[in-house]
Structure 1
Amino acid sequence: MLEEEYDRDRRRLPRHLRRQPEPERPFTYEIRPAVRGDVPDIREIYNYYVTNSVVTFDEKRWTHAQWADKFDHLQKLGLPFLVAVSPSGQVLGYGYVSPWTGKSGYRYTVENSIYLGQAATGKGLGRALLEALIDACRQLGIREIVAVISDRGAEASVALHERLGFVEVGRMGRVGFKFGRWLGTIYMQKHLEPVKKRSFLRRRD
């Protein structure tokens, strides 16, 4: 049956017998601290970008052991590692911060990373994860967050960081090489004000 004939016959049916299109399900998720059981999903999300994009300069897929070691290291340091999960428990995306360098003088500065599963892009999840990371860092007393972003193929990431108050502080050209081409990096930075201590005095109107 042709599509036009199907639509015409459908209109002839009583309204209660017509097949209605299924409404699009709302995109819902929960952001929570990552646990070790999330590592396999995190690995799969990241490895997609390793093999299909230049937003990371890694060229080899990460193993489960590598991600488990990274998770344990960040847990030991007490740094935020967050995941966004669907109602069924599937990891839709993740974000974490890591030390800017190994030198103690940089202890109030971190670098952030956020990656989303392909089905979760373009739905505001990246912003929600970055906002949650910023808040977690502020609660820990971290003062500076730095984002190192590829200058090719990561325009959405640059725009997201700008919307949340990151400013570009520098660029390096041709420092990476992947997929047969040279790549540069964009450095963006956000300053965090310390958390104000709450007063125990209650205001009376």
Structure 2
Amino acid sequence: MTHIRPACPADLPAITAIYGHHVATGRASFEISPPPLEEMQRRHAALVAAGMPYLVAEVDGVVLGYAYAGAYRPRIAYRDTVENSIYVAADSAGKGLGRLLLAALIEACTAIGLRQMIAVVGDSANVASVKLHEAAGFRQVGVLRSVGRKHGEWLDSVLLQRALGEGDTTPPRAEPG
């Protein structure tokens, strides 16, 4: 049985290994070198400190995937919009973990009052990720052609967007400051 829960520091070695595999062998992440554990710890701590959800999918006590939301852009006007990231262990792909993680991430972001979620899918050939997002209610809003170069190839970024909760159907929260 799969258990989706908030990630904790003890999960970071498994998260680092999952992500490292995707960085080294895949085209979903535009990072070239897998970040070390210390960098992944820093990233996790920053997201948690910002109040963002960071989840893991655990099966029989083993972390097989993770997902998190982070600020879409740093400027304050984007404060209600997040970008998601989802990675699943290579030997667990296609088993529904990504779907479970994305659903839980959408729920967690909605619960804290966020209004829009953006998926930036690395590589337009990453059909599985595009379909995963579309099945969760995202719609494709654009493709940035040949904006990344990795493994000797030019890569696209596919942009998908989904409203959270009331989306833009109600007035925004008060302006800060």
Return the TM-score normalized by structure 2: 0.91
Give yes or no for the alignment of 1:47 onto 2:47.
Answer: no
Look up the SS of the partner of 2:114 in the other structure.
coil
Equivalent residues in 2 for 1:96-107 (5 A)? 96-107=68-79
Deviations 1:81-101 (A, max 9, x none): 0001112x2101000001011
In the alignment, what sits opposite 1:147? 119
Give yes or no for the alignment of 1:183 onto 2:159.
Answer: no
Equivalent residues in 2 for 1:11-160 (5 A)? 28-87=1-60, 89-160=61-132
Q: Counterparts of 2:4 and 2:31 in 1: how far apart (Å)?
A: 26
Q: Which ranges of 4 or more aligned residues in structure 1 deviate by more than 3 Å?
A: none
Q: Counterparts of 1:76 and 1:174 in 2: how far apart (Å)?
A: 34
Look up the SS of the partner of 1:136 in the other structure.
helix
Q: Counterparts of 1:33 and 1:175 in 2: how far apart (Å)?
A: 32
Q: How many residues align?
A: 167
Q: CA deviation at 1:119?
A: 2.2
Q: Counterparts of 1:142 and 1:60 in 2: how far apart (Å)?
A: 32
In the alignment, what sits opposite 2:175? none
In the alignment, what sits opposite 2:172? none
RMSD, aligned α-carbons? 1.2
Deviations 1:5-46 (A, max 9, x none): xxxxxxxxxxxxxxxxxxxxxxx2200000011110000000
Give, as a single letter, the amino acid of the residue that structure 2 aligns with 1:62: P
Give yes or no for the alignment of 1:167 onto 2:134.
Answer: no
Q: CA deviation at 1:61?
A: 1.0
Q: CA deviation at 1:63?
A: 0.6
Runs of 5+ consecutive residues of structure 1 not aligned to the other structure: 1-27, 196-205
Q: Counterparts of 2:134 and 2:103 in 1: how far apart (Å)?
A: 12
Q: Counterparts of 2:125 and 2:26 in 1: how far apart (Å)?
A: 7
Give, as a single letter, the amino acid of the residue that structure 2 aligns with 1:74: L
The structure with higher relative contact order (CA 8 Å, sep 6+) is: 2
Runs of 5+ consecutive residues of structure 2 not aligned to the other structure: 168-177
Q: Counterparts of 1:174 and 1:121 in 2: how far apart (Å)?
A: 26
- Identical columns (%): 41
Give, as a single letter, the amino acid of the residue that structure 2 aligns with 1:121: A
